[in-house]
Structure 1
């Protein structure tokens, strides 16, 4: 996948290696398709994905988190605002909110021109609310507080893909 390849190169250029042990495939108990942990790397949940296209989208999403962790060396995943910013960026830049993805989730009642930002906000809220350090209300508030800055931040891309 070109996006995954680009993000791996961006991580390498930023001084953060994505060697062979950076990626893991595991069965996951949580209802998530993948994850990033700063000490473990990227995990793809084999029991939650069925197609290569899904794997590519999950890899892109998690590599955005890895990139954020790499470039912001003080990123604190227990801080709801830090987590919210990375989730906004990951949802916006990974392809999570492309029209086809949203359609497949059954979210097709939104005007196409509004769809991306509505989806990004919804997915960021859901992800941050899963953080044990952030309640649902704290997650929504954190997403609101960092929205303008983080939604516009497209690094390492020149613009949102």
Structure 2
């Protein structure tokens, strides 16, 4: 994807040559230990027929961890089908989605290109961590490669549209502001683009939060969703030490970045 060398505007956080992050090596973040399936522990036997395992799941004989391992094995079986459906929906969105078409035009105006050649659908493996948490993603953006859409994670075309719009906001920010994605100089860059992507993509609108995630809060629901998702994304950066630092960084840039609707005039979705 082409790069535009525009500097961040005055209201965007910029790296400081004297900041600790710029002069000291990044902290080593301990990575989660991922579990491999043990039928004796989980109740899920990958050598058995899928319907036998499914019956064991619905009768409560498989643990939460085992259900995730079963899910991953089914994703492998259906990889070609899921990728074909993702590509079809991606092409439809590039042709007919007002949000996606608008962002594509704005990215093109900055010298970048996003189309079927660098917006790719792939199966993205999930992992069960030792603490029981499940590590998953629905997409990602790379300045050097484009956008990844995780074909096995999408519930429907609307979900894919939200994810694609989120990553396209990242692409626009990259071309416009030259974001420090890894946070090696300033994590505020990452915090700002994550706030903007969650705010502008539609993934935090009330209907999505309520009917999909079960959050029926009527006050501050939108702001809380954007803040929560931004904190989670900043925590995933290799230079972020912990959730305390992630919350602190998001709070530092919240007012200016939550108010920045570019390239839209307002929150469209």
With normalisation by structure 1, the TM-score equals: 0.93
CA distance in 2, matches of 1:10, 1:62: 14
Deviations 1:16-52 (A, max 9, x none): 1114322011111240101111111111001111311
Gaps of 5+ in 1: none
Gaps of 5+ in 2: 1-96, 127-135
CA distance in 1, matches of 2:122, 2:239: 24
Trace 1:51-70 onto structure 2 (pairs within 5 A).
Answer: 51-70=156-175
SS in 1 for 2:257: helix
Q: Please report the RMSD computed on the Cα atoms of aligned residues, expressed in angstroms.
A: 1.2
Instruction: Say which of 27, 30, 51 aligns to 2:123.
Output: 27
Report 1 or 2 for greater relative contact order, CA contacts < 8 Å, sequence distance ≥ 6. Answer: 2
Q: Please state how far the C-alpha of 1:55 moved relative to its aligned partner.
A: 0.7
Instruction: Say which of 201, 204, 211 aligns to 1:94.
Output: 201
Equivalent position of 1:77 in the other structure: 181
CA distance in 1, matches of 2:156, 2:201: 16
Number of residue equivalences: 158
With normalisation by structure 2, the TM-score equals: 0.57
Q: Please state how far the C-alpha of 1:11 moved relative to its aligned partner.
A: 0.2
CA distance in 1, matches of 2:158, 2:117: 22
Q: Which runs of 4+ in 1 moved over 3 A?
A: none
Trace 1:1-40 onto structure 2 (pairs within 5 A).
Answer: 1-30=97-126, 31-40=136-145
Residue 47 in 1 paired to residue 152 in 2? yes
